[in-house]
Structure 1
Amino acid sequence: MKGFKTLVLFAMVLLLSACGDQPIDDFSHTNQRGETVSLESLKGTPWLATFVFTNCETVCPPMTFNMAGIQEELIKKGIEDYKIIAFSVDPREDTPEKLAEYLANFSVPDDSKWNLLTGYSQQEIADFAKENFKAFVKDDPNSNQVVHGTSFYLVDQEGKVAHNYDGFEQVPVDDIVKDLENLIE
């Protein structure tokens, strides 16, 4: 039981440390439409971030489905001032075309808000995820899969992580919508 409590405490520290005043490192990558998306181009707009890849056999499809569900709720509330950023954790495979095909598999209410990014190395995204989101990204040496976290992150207008949430099973949709709405107000 003591080991479990230590594990829970460690997990809480990691979750809390992902929220802070440290701005996200500058980036400039290519989205599924072949457009450049940078931290600078996102300034002034809050955004939801996550990490996925197109040939994921486990968590990515449900996470993308969940993000589309969040977008449905944002539309119902009339919230328009946001973006959704999904960093590919398998940039060698995930071309803009593959990312566009992947997104087309989901009932996304407004794909103009979505930016699935690629155009960097595997090591760069692993370092970026760790340093900016306290997220884990690692190639599985025994398969074509990438091991990565399942969180969604709310990034404020200044490019700082304001909140993080479970993006896989216990997705707090109402909290995400409320937190995003509060950032906009």
Structure 2
Amino acid sequence: MKFITLFARSLVIAGLALVLTGCLDEEQQWNAKEIDGMLPDLEFTLTRSDGETVTAEEYQGQVRLMFFGFTNCPDVCPATLSKLTRAIKAMPADLQDDVTPLFVSVDPKRDTPERLGEYVNFFYDRTVGLTADEPTLRKLAKRYRTTFGYDEPDERGNYNVSHSAAIYVFDGQGNARLLLRSDLPTDQITEDLVQLARQARS
């Protein structure tokens, strides 16, 4: 009888350990691709849409979503901005202000600070529009292992800009944490942002 009692207790303890382990694993799960230690911390010196020069420290403590694009982008950029806006607004109200999207224009020839500001504010008033001269932008893109390029202008001088659709997610300390794919469902983006925002407050 004593052996049976001890065996039963062992089963209960083992079961609790499995449950607790499952809870811990669940807390560490992400929908987006984890990039901890794969990319450098967030660092930049760029021109904001209000004409001010800003650095990454300006938004320290915030979960930052950085991606590259341009205001004349016909599809990827507006779709991305719309999706991120929906994802953030689906977060608990008290956490929404802890997330800041950073839209970096790689088309400084056409995207003046004023134009950039009007563009990002159309989607979400907390999105920060940033740009710089081309050499600075190329250095920043290289830092995060991406690139961009310009097509030949047409007879009217219009041209397309090729760029990555990836969204880099940095935590409150500026550490690279996640890479969001363009096809990731909005609700899954929200889940990841909520988890990161709560971690930033802890």
Offset at residue 25 of structure 1 (A): 5.6
Identity %: 30
Provide the residue aligned with 1:63 in structure 2.
80
**From 141, 144, 153, the counterpart of 1:129:** 141
Q: Following the alignment from structure 1 to structure 2, what is the Cα–Cα distance between the partners of residues 61 and 95?
A: 18
The alignment status of 1:182 with 2:191, answered yes or no, reads no
Provide the residue aligned with 1:165 in structure 2.
180
Q: 1:76–1:44: structure 2 CA closer, same or farther, 3 Å change rule?
A: closer
Offset at residue 159 of structure 1 (A): 1.5
Matched-pair contact (CA < 8 Å) for 1:49–1:86: yes
Superposition RMSD in Å: 2.5
Matched-pair contact (CA < 8 Å) for 1:74–1:80: no
- Offset from partner CA, 1:30-87 (integer Å, 9 cap, x none): 2223333311112222111111211123322212222222222135574321211011
TM-score of the pair, normalised by structure 1: 0.75
Residue identity in the other structure for 2:149:
K
Matched-pair contact (CA < 8 Å) for 2:62–2:99: yes
The alignment status of 1:89 with 2:101, answered yes or no, reads no
Q: Which runs of 5+ in 1 are unaligned?
A: 1-14
Structure number with bigger Rg: 2
Partner of 2:96, secondary structure, is: coil
Q: 1:103–1:43: structure 2 CA closer, same or farther, 3 Å change rule?
A: closer
The alignment status of 1:141 with 2:152, answered yes or no, reads yes
Matched-pair contact (CA < 8 Å) for 2:148–2:164: yes
- Offset from partner CA, 1:87-143 (integer Å, 9 cap, x none): 10112221111112222443x3xx1x211101x2223223312322x2231222355
The alignment status of 1:35 with 2:52, answered yes or no, reads yes
Matched-pair contact (CA < 8 Å) for 1:66–1:171: no
Q: 1:136–1:43: structure 2 CA closer, same or farther, 3 Å change rule?
A: same
Query: What is the number of equivalent residue pairs in this alignment?
Result: 162
TM-score of the pair, normalised by structure 2: 0.69
Q: Which runs of 5+ in 2 are unaligned?
A: 1-31
